[in-house]
Amino acid sequence: MIKRTKNVKKNKKKRKKKKSITIASRKSKARKLQKWTAEEISKVTGFDWGKDCPIEPRPMGQSGVDIRLEKSVLEVFPYSVECKAQENWSVHQWVKQARINKMDGTDWLIVARRSRRKEVVIMDAEAFFKLFKGEI
């Protein structure tokens, strides 16, 4: 018979269930990542970003890519961008969504971030090597 000590029982009581994040907070994190991504694309391309600009974060709840790019921007930055600000990463599902939302003549690109971590870009390997070779 295994004897439990008082410390083990105390430790069990001390463990608290993590509170899940509210929907409003999730959307806020997603909006911040979209804005950050739009600003970074603006820095690279030289186009303005914001509402009614060539680079615009799509409002929450709308279908399609997360960053709307006008044709002039797509000539310089040919990517359909999805943003994911999540703690649990489902990369295969994200790639599936990115492929579905991909605009003609572009490659898909995902900008992902977890809390208190740096942003990460996920893209198709063939597109990456084309970019590296200077073909894009």
**Contact of 73 with 91, CB cutoff 8 Å:** no
Task: Strand 120-123: give its sheet, edge to edge.
Answer: 55-57, 67-69, 79-85, 107-113, 120-123
Architecture in CATH of 22-133:
3-Layer(aba) Sandwich (3.40)
Please state the domain extents for the chain: 22-133
Return d(Cα 63, Cα 114) in angstroms, integer. 23
Query: Could you tell me the two tokens for 42?
Result: 């603006």
CB atoms within 10 A of CB 75: 11
**Contact of 67 with 78, CB cutoff 8 Å:** no
Query: Could you tell me the two tokens for 43?
Result: 């820095």
From first to last of the 136 residues of the chain, give the pLDDT tens digit.
Answer: 565 555 555 555 566 666 777 888 888 899 999 999 999 999 999 999 999 999 999 988 888 999 999 999 999 999 999 999 999 999 999 999 999 999 999 999 999 999 889 999 999 999 999 999 998 7
